[in-house]
Amino acid sequence: MSYNDTISASCSLTESDLLRDTFTHKVYLGLTPFIICIGLLGNILTVCVFILTDLKKQSVSIITIALAIVDSFVLLIPVSILWLEKILRQEFTDLSSFWCRTHGFFDLAFTCCSSWLMVCIAFERFCAVWLPHNNKTIFTHSRTLRLVLIIVILSTSLSIWFIFAVKMSQVSYTTTLDELLIFSTNQTINSDSKCKVYDDSLYDSMGMSSVIMNYILPFILVLLLNSTIIYRLCQRGMVELTSSITVMLTLVCLVHLFCTLPFQCWWIYYEIPDRTGNCTWLKTKLIWRTITFTIRNMNYMANFFLYSCSSKFFRDELKGLIFLCLLPHEKYQNYHYRRQSLYDNLQQRVSLTQLVMRRLSRATEFTNGGVINNPSTANIHNGPIGNV
């Protein structure tokens, strides 16, 4: 969301003037492009791993794929454009009526969708841990896909209010003839227009509702669900594949909580009381907003690294996928899927049933310390050829 209207009436300085020489602002400008680039690369790799490997057999993979796509949109649109505004010291919302009405909509819709997808992941893992026999029935691939589509539609519907709360307004400037001559060369067509809130009651009420729906309520649900998951895992001590995925996704949910909590605290402390102050107070407010906003953005780039660090199964699938892409005609002997593999080392389809039957056929040939019990083999030794 845009915070252009948070400048206090008692302070004539702009936001860029207040933050120009601060350390936090310099860190934000330098760190944000790395967050965007690394986050996009990690989300692309995450989508590839969950689509092209055995992880796609898990119904939760649909949610993780959707989460990676939504996180990429957060980094591409609201985060990157706000960073460009700070770099160029130009409010894009004052240049385009479309961007004025939609800049907050994109941020609200994508963050709402990301938060509730995280709730779905936590609930799916809750069912996998507490209801292991019914989890595959509750979360089928078709039901999970429908659930993701419902979240996307609801997130869009709950965020559309922003379009009707702001608009481009004409601003009259009182300038002298000398000032007009000086700035006339830098004037643009929209220099007399500014993006402003024209319905304060709608903006305040719906803004608070959006913060509750996007951050506070998902935060509470994810915290409760993951607390029960951790408690159950400590009781059972699961170490199999399901546990590996559960630990991985639980860690992702916990990092989401810690990354979004500071921004929630900032909003509650500064925005709910609707306080104003002098330039010093406003500068402190903007500094803390920059810090919490940067921490929030890290959440949208961290999931790939959390998957890689917490799950050996994910690392093996990623490593095998990379080798199969780089060496499509070579044998990679150390790469094997834990479940039925899509391809063998020669990239040919294999059958798990054939492998089991081949193993059983070898085991039944020898019993009782190596005595041959296979009738066909015994006849060979008793026949004329066998006696030779």
User: b vs e for 248-283, b when ≥16 Cβ sit within 10 Å of the residue's Cβ?
Assistant: bbbbbbbbbbebbbbbbebbeebbeeeeeeeeeebb
pTM of the model: 0.76
Q: How far apart are the C-alpha atoms of 138 and 259, rounded to whole Å?
A: 30
Q: DSSP alpha helices (H): ranges in the chain? A: 15-19, 23-52, 60-74, 80-88, 97-130, 135-138, 141-159, 177-183, 200-211, 217-236, 241-270, 279-298, 303-310, 312-326, 352-363, 375-382, 384-387
Q: What pLDDT, on a 0 to 100 scale, did the predictor assign at position 366? A: 43
Q: How far apart are the C-alpha atoms of 85 and 81, rounded to whole Å?
A: 6
* pLDDT at residue 76 greater than cutoff 90: yes
* pLDDT at residue 292 greater than cutoff 90: yes
* pLDDT at residue 248 greater than cutoff 80: yes
- Per-residue pLDDT averaged across 143-172, rounded? 89
Rg, C-alpha atoms of the chain: 29
Q: For the chain, first and last CA: distance in Å?
A: 91
* pLDDT at residue 72 greater than cutoff 50: yes
| Lowest-confidence region among 90-104, 244-258, 264-278 | 264-278
Q: What pLDDT, on a 0 to 100 scale, did the predictor assign at position 176? A: 45
- Residue 14 tokens read as 């702009």
Q: What's the angle, vertex CA 387, arms to CA 384 and CA 388, rounded to 5?
A: 90
In sequence order, the 6+-apart residues with CB closer than 8 A to the CB of 34 are none
Q: What pLDDT, on a 0 to 100 scale, did the predictor assign at position 371? A: 46
